[in-house]
Amino acid sequence: MSTSQRVVKNTLFLYVRTIVSLLVSVFTTRILLGTLGASDYGLYNVVGGSIAMLGFISTSMSGVIQRYLSHAEGSGDERRIQLIFNNALIVHYILAVVTIILLGTAALFFFNGVLNIPTGKETEAAIIYGCMMASTVFSITIVPYDAEINAHENMLFYSILGIIDVMLKLLIAIVILYRDNEKLVFYAILMAAESFLLRFITQQYCRKHYEECRKVQMCHYYDKATIKEMTSFAGWNMINTATGMISLFGMNIVINHYFGTELNAALGIATQLSGVLMGVSMNMIKAVTPVLVKSEGRNQRDRMLEISYVGCKFSYLLFAFVGVPVLVFLPYILNLWLHNVPEWTVAFCSILLVLTLVDQLTVLLYQSIMADGHIKVYNVLRSITNLMPILISIIMFSLGDFSPTWILINWLIWKGSIGGIVNLIVASKNLGLSVSLFFKRVIVKGMTVTVVVALVACIVKESADYLLLSELWGILTVFLLSLPLYWRVAFTQLERTIFYIMFSKVLRRV
């Protein structure tokens, strides 16, 4: 199977995963919000957010290990693959121990004034924190195995595992529904157990299917130079990832400190909605990234840049295809989904969807810069854009009576707009990417079709009563009308021809 066909096939697997995850998550969130209530649901989000903020280690290392494995796969060096995997295991077991120490120390601050925990909920919050610590350790120690799956482009298993994940979460929500007391504590314990089960399944699968995972010999393959190389690269990458996590989950802490747990529930819903919709485009990026890194590993820079141009455009278009209609019909969708919508949820969701839309324009350039390896200046600049929204928001909320939406507006300005400019500047300097060509092929094409689709969606929404359409049928109508617009406006004739050929071949094989 050719590379392009494999990418399309893997993307289709990931879309099946996303669709199932979306449908199941809708019911799971609704059950949890109704069972736990907005206050307890917000409490779980803020405590979990404080843990995840320090769980940047696994997120950062996952990309680094996948990069090194993909480079080795591209060069065909089997010993190099064994060396990277075994030393990655050593690093991650050490990181797991360090994380336990860090999280234990952080708890002293979180539970002594940083978090705004309702009176009488202190014990429950501490138990939730402990369960989330266990989940974080499981997620760190599974990173090398997860990187193996991605480096081998095995999106079929990744998709199956994702479906198992959301199904287990739905089962947990149903179990909580029929429990009479201590629902929040029981929920946290079951979520930790679910995290361990997924880790066990992933590890056993990799040991069965991949030679380097089957013959784990950490002492034999221990190599100080390899560990130093990976940790040095990861260190610079971790600066960006850590500040990104602080920015994301710091929002929860700032909102909690100034406005209470009710708004944490609204922010949690907005983050979940944006994350689920972002999966539509991130699936394609996940399928493309190993190919992009392998191209750089083979010294095929022109091919890597072409993948970057096309990948950025399609990442944006895929999110816009779903995100723009959802944005226009947002109040109806939230009421249909949650029934009782927490205050500020519509505003939070709207701003976060716009932010994600802007971010998608240059999101794949991050992978391109990572593949090149010159990341020091880039990560310092992105760290600044990550932290500024939180710092500015704290100053604003301390000095005046500002709306809570300002924290997301600041995030949109710094992380979305200025962060995207940083991506373009660094990619231009380090990779030779043409900014003018990127603007013409990606930004102009993407923004043009977005404006047209948004206008169509608004017209359909305002005309729904006259056309005797329910809002649900209005949304479906927008999706149907959008397809020819995307096909004719956003795609070039060459891209349309290539996609027709690729999908035809893949569908015959699936």
Residue 373: what pLDDT?
Answer: 78
Categorize the per-residue pLDDT at 4 as very low, low, confident or very high, splitting at 50, 70 and 90: low
Range 40-45 average pLDDT? 72
SS3 labels along 367-408 = HHHHHHCCCHHHHHHHHHHHHHHHHHHHHHHHHCCCCCCHHH
Distances (CA, A) of 400 to 124, 258, 262: 33, 11, 21
Residue 385: what pLDDT?
Answer: 93
Nearest one of 363, 282, 317 to 496, comparing CA atoms: 317
Residue 486: what pLDDT?
Answer: 82
Residue 162: what pLDDT?
Answer: 86
Q: What does the DSSP assignment read for 269-327? A: HHHHHHHHHHHHHHHHHHHHHHHHHHHHHTT-HHHHHHHHHHHHHHHHHHHHHHHHHHH
Q: What distance, in Å, lies between the first and last C-alpha atoms of the chain?
A: 12
pLDDT in tens, 310-360: 888 888 888 888 889 999 898 888 888 777 788 888 999 999 999 999 999
pLDDT exceeds 90 at position 144: no
pLDDT exceeds 60 at position 2: no
CA gap 160, 492 in Å, rounded = 34
CA gap 347, 452 in Å, rounded = 23
Q: Provide the CB-side half-sphere exposure for 461 (13 A, CA).
A: 17
pLDDT in tens, 27-41: 777 777 777 776 777
Amino acid at 91: V
Residue 500: what pLDDT?
Answer: 67
Categorize the per-residue pLDDT at 281 as very low, low, confident or very high, splitting at 50, 70 and 90: confident
Distances (CA, A) of 145 to 66, 204, 267: 10, 9, 32
Residue 264: what pLDDT?
Answer: 83
Amino acid at 7: V
Range 408-417 average pLDDT? 91
Q: What are phi and psi of 502, to 5 degrees?
A: -65, -50
Nearest one of 395, 495, 408 to 445, comparing CA atoms: 495
**Torsion 35-39-40-41 (CA) sign:** positive
pLDDT exceeds 70 at position 165: yes
Residue 384: what pLDDT?
Answer: 93
Categorize the per-residue pLDDT at 429 as very low, low, confident or very high, splitting at 50, 70 and 90: very high
CA gap 145, 450 in Å, rounded = 38
- pTM score of the predicted model: 0.72
Distances (CA, A) of 8 to 102, 292, 293, 460: 41, 14, 17, 32
| 416: DSSP letter | I
Distances (CA, A) of 272 to 6, 105, 161, 275: 29, 28, 19, 5
CA gap 275, 482 in Å, rounded = 22
Q: Spell out a b/e string for 246-257, using b for 16 or more CB atoms within 10 Å of the CB, else e.
A: bbbbbbbbbbbe
Average pLDDT of the chain, as a whole number: 81
Q: What does the DSSP assignment read for 109-165? A: HIIIIIS-PPTT-HHHHHHHHHHHHHHHHHHHHTHHHHHHHHHTT-HHHHHHHHHHH
Contact 141, 93 (CB under 8 A): yes
Contact 59, 241 (CB under 8 A): yes
Range 214-231 average pLDDT? 78
CA gap 321, 287 in Å, rounded = 19
pLDDT in tens, 459-483: 888 877 666 567 778 888 888 888 8
Contact 161, 286 (CB under 8 A): no
Contact 317, 45 (CB under 8 A): no
pLDDT in tens, 392-412: 999 999 988 888 899 899 999
Name 142's Cβ contacts closer than 8 Å, sequence gap at least 6.
Answer: 198, 199, 202, 203
Q: Domain extents for the chain?
A: 3-509
CA gap 94, 125 in Å, rounded = 27
- Tokens standing for 266? 């609204």
Residue 338: what pLDDT?
Answer: 79
Measured N-to-C along each axis, helices 155-177 and 183-209 cross at an angle, to the nearest 10 degrees, of 160
**Torsion 288-294-298-304 (CA) sign:** positive
pLDDT exceeds 70 at position 504: no
Averaging pLDDT over each range in 187-201, 290-304, 486-500, which range is the top one? 187-201
